[in-house]
Amino acid sequence: MKFSVTKEIKLLSLAFLFSFTGFDGVQQYITTFFSHIGLPRIGFQSLILIYLFFTLADPLSAVVVSKYGAKKSMAIGILFYVLFILALMTKSMIFIYLASSLLGIAASLLWTGQNSYLVRATTDDNRGANAGFFGTLLSLGSAAGVISLGFLIAKFSYQSSFLLAALLPFIGLVFIFRLKDLRSEKSENHLHLLRKAITSKTAWQLSTIWFSVSFVYGLAIGLIPIEIKNISTCEIASHKSLLQAARLSGVAES
pLDDT tens-digit series, residues 117-169: 998 998 888 888 899 999 999 999 999 998 999 899 989 999 999 999 999 99
How many angstroms separate the CA atoms of 197 and 8, rounded? Answer: 28
How many angstroms separate the CA atoms of 197 and 237, rounded? Answer: 55
CA 104, 106, 107, 113 torsion-angle sign? positive
Lowest-confidence region among 41-45, 59-63, 110-114, 216-220: 216-220
pLDDT at 65 over 70: yes
> What's this model's pTM, rounded to 2 decimal places?
0.77
How many angstroms separate the CA atoms of 78 and 47, rounded? Answer: 17
How many angstroms separate the CA atoms of 189 and 160, rounded? Answer: 47
- The answer to whether 61 and 53 are in contact (CB under 8 A) is no
CA 92, 94, 96, 102 torsion-angle sign? negative
Q: Which of helix, strand or coil describes residue 79?
A: helix
At 61, the pLDDT band (50, 70, 90 cuts) reads: confident
pLDDT of residue 186: 54
Mean pLDDT of the chain: 79
pLDDT at 193 over 90: no
pLDDT at 189 over 50: no
C-beta pairs of 33-36 under 8 Å, 24+ apart in sequence: 33/88, 33/158, 33/162, 35/226, 35/229, 36/158
Question: Mean per-residue pLDDT for 96-124?
Answer: 93
pLDDT at 232 over 90: no
Of 164, 166, 145, 167, nearest in space to 29 by CA: 145
36/12: higher pLDDT? 12
How many angstroms separate the CA atoms of 61 and 198, rounded? Answer: 11
Count the neighbouring beta carbons within 10 Å of the beta carbon of residue 221. 18
Question: Mean per-residue pLDDT for 169-188?
Answer: 83
Lowest-confidence region among 28-42, 91-105, 169-183, 231-245: 231-245
